[in-house]
Chain A
Amino acid sequence: MNEPIRIENLTKDFNGFRALDNLNLVVKRKSFMGFLGPNGAGKTTAIKILTNLLAATSGSAELNGINITREPKAALANVGAVVETPEFYPYLTPTETLAYMGELSGMSHVDIKRRTKEVLDTVKMNEWADKRIGKFSKGMKQRIAIAQAILHEPPIIILDEPTSGLDPRGMFEVREILVDLKKQDYTVFMSSHLLNEVQEICDDVALINQGKLLKHGPVDELIATTNSRRLEVRVKQKVTAELLGTISRLDGVSETAPAGESIFVMSLSGGDDAQASLLRSLMNLDLSVISFKESGVALENLYMSLIKESR
């Protein structure tokens, strides 16, 4: 059976710079895959090739088993995409824009009318349905972009940093939309560098750097493979260099650093047992621990270690 998205040995060169280097990746049906990597890792390049915005130097990308380079029209028939932050025709309203995109995708006028109301409701833009897009904010445009991507209910949705450039409220709202999409029958492939976003929403994750795939698989499994966690500790005492030196000599502890007058962070190798043991050790040092918690997201630790290794 054809996977919704299959990338094989995909390579893209830009004037001697290799943005993608033999990338191989498969996105399973009905999965929500996060595509992670630092800036310049090749995420957007891969997504642009998948959406026919760039041509691959070599290798292939298939959507529902159809080669995007050879048959772009057929391949893109079942795809909804938001790439970078698209601009809209300023002289059209959201309703007209969705009608244009819907007509190009082959939707009937009845379906366009019905779905326009539904998707504008989903992205909370019904109030603006008949206002020209010209003066919309970036956040409003991003919501319209998501609306046009899901308008024709495509089985595959490709999103390139959908919350990029949005304010915290906008990011929250877009994340809510994504969570809602997850409940439906979609295969979603989403690039992001917001690790908490990916950990919160995605089932699977693929990490790339310098155009190469570093690791991919279910988020939980990948997190389980990482044997390191970042901890933040708040104590009653003042954090001194001497204290940090003592703590860094404890089992599994590394990279201790102050994060405030009475707060410090550190890395710990090991799982839950090691973390519980560390807390006991800190108490044994006569520290008055006010809080002891994991700092950042588990995926961040994996991401950072993989990126560091790949350099």
Chain B
Amino acid sequence: MTEMISQNGMRMGTTPPSDINQVGVVVKYEVLKYLRSKRLMGLIIIEALVLLLLTILPPLLGNDYATNADAFINGYTSYVTILIVIGATLFAGDAIVSEFQGRTGYLLFPKPVKRSALLAGKFIASAGAMFLVLITYYLVALLLGLAITGGFSTLGVESLLLAMLYSLAALAVGYLISSVMKGATGALILTFALFLFILTILTGVLTLGGVEPWFLVNYAGGVVGYITQVPYPSSGTGDPGVGPGFSMATFIPDVGISIAVMLAYLVVSLVLAYFFFKRREMSA
């Protein structure tokens, strides 16, 4: 190692790399974490099971496959949001809090690396793992559609792009939760419950009240499935089937607004996550 001497005669150690290079280092070791902790493998196994069930169940139940490529892929896109919620929980839920609770922060934070670089590296690694899962899922579904219907669904590709955006928003929310929670288990449970129960219940209640929950990220994420329906469905009033005189509003998220909402969740959640992470102290 080249020894450096400062102007005042002091021996200096190494010069830290640029922030961008450090982000790359963090990404590398976070990906290694996903591989060694089997989280990524676990999600890929869940994904394989979903694909297998969606492919073999229709003929086993005596149903025909859709003959149109878009209709075929629509059967698969409806379940993508569940995969995204599980992925956000596994990759983001404890990403920050574990450094504090697990005391690895004592090793990492005294290093010459900014917390922004740590957050960016972790987030990019999570997004990479999530994208890998989503791309694999869509690739298999699109190829199956091609083999069974003989057509390629371009709407499937659009759905993939929207799923990637929704996954980024969900990961960002997971990072925000992870940056404020004190325990890793609580952060994991809250991330999962937020998307699977809390936001879903809120969406249902608002819809029942006749208010379109366009501002909720899970509602916006619904476009991942709707985009493969031809024609794109529209909001309206339907019969809930509880008797004459009753009607209920059905809301369908607008694609443009949903993209804006997901982007807003991504940016705001990440900025807040950084704010809390930067201020957080290793005081325990």
Contacts and interface: CB of A to CB of B under 8 A. Distances in A.
A114 to B, nearest CB: 8
A147 B172 CA distance: 35
Contact of A77 (B1, B8, B15): B15
Pick from A87, A152, A153 the residue with the most CB of B within 10 Å.
Answer: A87
A101 B109 CA distance: 11
Interface string B1-45: 101001011111111110000100110010011001100000000
A66 to B, nearest CB: 11
A104 to B, nearest CB: 5
Contacts of B3: 153
A155 B102 contact: no
A301 to B, nearest CB: 34
A92 interface: yes
Contacts of A153: 1, 3, 13
B178 to A, nearest CB: 16
A86 B14 contact: no
Contacts of B9: 1
B1 A152 contact: yes
A86 B14 CA distance: 22
A155 B12 contact: yes
A285 interface: no
A261 interface: no
A77 B3 CA distance: 13
A105 B29 contact: no
Nearest to B35: A91
Interface residues of A, number: 53
A72 B36 contact: no
Interface stretch (A51-59, A191-199, A227-235, A250-258): A51-59
Contacts of B15: 77, 106
B16 A73 contact: yes
Contact of B109 (A52, A88, A108): A52
Interface stretch (B111-119, B202-210, B269-277): B111-119
14 contacts: A29-B10, A48-B283, A54-B283, A55-B281, A64-B6, A79-B13, A81-B110, A83-B282, A91-B33, A101-B111, A103-B17, A105-B13, A106-B16, A152-B13
A89 interface: yes
Interface string A1-15: 110100000000010
A78 B13 contact: yes
Interface of A: 1-2, 4, 14, 29, 48, 51-55, 64-65, 72-81, 83-89, 91-92, 96-97, 100-101, 103-108, 111, 114-115, 145, 148, 152-155, 158, 185
B105 interface: yes
Pick from B11, B12, B107, B281 the residue with the most CB of A within 10 Å.
Answer: B107
Contacts of A96: 29, 32
B121 to A, nearest CB: 10
List the 7 closest pairs (A to B, CB-CB), nearest first.
A86-B106, A91-B36, A51-B110, A87-B103, A154-B13, A53-B282, A81-B110
Given A78-B13, A89-B104, A91-B32, A104 B8 contact: no
A56 to B, nearest CB: 11
A150 to B, nearest CB: 10
A53 B16 contact: no
B1 A155 contact: no
Contacts of B113: 73, 104
Pick from A48, A51, A100, A104 the residue with the most CB of B within 10 Å.
Answer: A104
Contacts of B110: 51-53, 76, 79, 81, 83, 158
Given A53-B282, A91-B37, A104-B111, A78 B106 contact: no
A105 B110 CA distance: 11
Given A76-B110, A77-B12, A85-B106, 13 more contacts: A51-B109, A73-B112, A73-B114, A76-B112, A77-B15, A77-B112, A87-B104, A89-B33, A91-B33, A97-B107, A114-B1, A115-B1, A152-B14
A64 B269 CA distance: 36
Contact of B107 (A55, A87, A115): A87
Contacts of A103: 17, 25
Contact of B1 (A4, A89, A107): A107
A187 B9 CA distance: 14
Contact of A155 (B11, B22, B283): B11
A53 B282 CA distance: 5
A77 B12 CA distance: 8
Nearest to A89: B104
B13 A86 contact: no
A62 B282 CA distance: 19
Contact of A1 (B8, B13, B32): B8
A137 to B, nearest CB: 16
A87 B111 contact: no
A4 to B, nearest CB: 7
A262 to B, nearest CB: 48
B33 A106 contact: no
A125 to B, nearest CB: 15
B137 to A, nearest CB: 26
